[in-house]
Amino acid sequence: MRKNTMRLLLLLTSLLVLGGCTRGTSDLHRWVAQEKAKKGAPLPPLPVIKTFESFVYKDQAKRDPFAPSPNDSAKNAKSGPRPDENRPRQPLESFALDSLKMVGTIGQGGKMEALIKDPGGVIHPVHVNDYMGQNYGRITDIAEDHVDLVELVPNGSGGWMERKASIALDVQ
């Protein structure tokens, strides 16, 4: 009996809910018709598309104008500075230049030595014409607050070029 009562109650609730959904949609249809009847803003005219005459490059047998000349790259590879591969490497050449820190200087008789700390915490004294960094960096000047050097880096066409670099005194 209780099941029948529940079914009857569920049926009545469903009928009431569905009965509320039968409201007409005539006002919606009327609004849509009004919106469709309105005239929109006039569209601007389409732009005139210019036609361009195409250009065909007909000199396929000639050298590519964007490729480097074979003479230039061979000339650049032979001229200019070159690293000395025969000299013995110094301990600070195994570290990247940006990982080295200048921690001080020592002066004696007009000659300056810089104190360079490697990433392992070891302090190395260096002089002018010593090498450090992985790009064949040769020390050119030592001042109280910085060390200047010249590195040799590849120039992209088989040769080398000089690049100036500096390590400032680390005041920490």
Query: Please, what CATH class does the domain formed by 111-172 belong to?
Result: mainly beta
- Burial status of residue 116 (CB atoms within 10 A of its CB: 0-12, 13-18, 19 or more): buried
Mean pLDDT value of segment 53-65? 79
Instruction: Tell me if residue 30 falls in helix, strand or coil.
Output: helix
Return the domain boundaries, the chain.
Answer: 111-172
Q: What is the pLDDT of residues 116-125, one digit of tens each?
A: 999 999 999 9
Cα–Cα distances (Å) from 65 to 55, 58, 70, 162, in that order, read 16, 13, 12, 28
Question: From residue 145, how far is each of 58, 101, 105, 171 by CA, in Å?
Answer: 61, 11, 8, 9
Residues shown for the chain = 172
| Structure token pair of residue 164 | 């100036």
pLDDT of residue 14: 83
> pLDDT: is 11 or 24 the higher one?
11
Contact 162, 150 (CB under 8 A): yes
- The two three-digit tokens of residue 167, written as one number: 């390590």
Share above pLDDT 70 across residues of the chain, in percent, rounded to a whole number = 90
**Which tokens belong to 10?**
């569920």
Q: Which of 109, 117, 95, 106 is nearest to 143 (CA)?
A: 106
- The first and second tokens of residue 87, run together, are 């000299």
**Using CA atoms, how far apart are residues 63 and 70, in angstroms rounded to an integer?**
10
